[in-house]
Amino acid sequence: MGAYGVWREASLVDLAAYFGSLTAYVATYIWAESKRPSTKTTIVKSGPSSRREIMIYVVVALWAIAGGVAIWFKSSLNDLAVYFVSLTGFVASWIAGEVYKPQDEVNKNIEE
């Protein structure tokens, strides 16, 4: 993505801010996996998938697509970085919550 940004003449400072916009989210994911590793298989293998792993793949894919489109159309990467930073608190808190009280445990107590 960095080479693509240079090719499309994006500001490297803006690109650095954009890369930084996902740092807290990825750091929370890594912390959560080190605190309580997912016991389910990856989304690449057959079997049940880890919600945390699905979430990081989806967010990183959306982040890369949005960044690529912003670079292509010469949109503000700083504005896009602020957008992703604003989502980090929501998504990171969900990941952290999964470490302490996984959704699977919460759902066991719900009667249908």
Q: What is the pLDDT of residue 52?
A: 81
3-class secondary-structure state, position 46: coil
Distance CA 87, CA 71 (A): 20
Nearest one of 44, 63, 66, 64 to 53, comparing CA atoms: 44
- Tens of pLDDT, residue by residue, the chain (112 residues): 889 999 999 999 999 999 999 888 888 888 888 888 877 766 677 777 777 888 888 888 999 999 999 999 999 999 999 999 998 888 888 888 877 766 656 556 555 5
Q: What is the pLDDT of residue 42?
A: 67
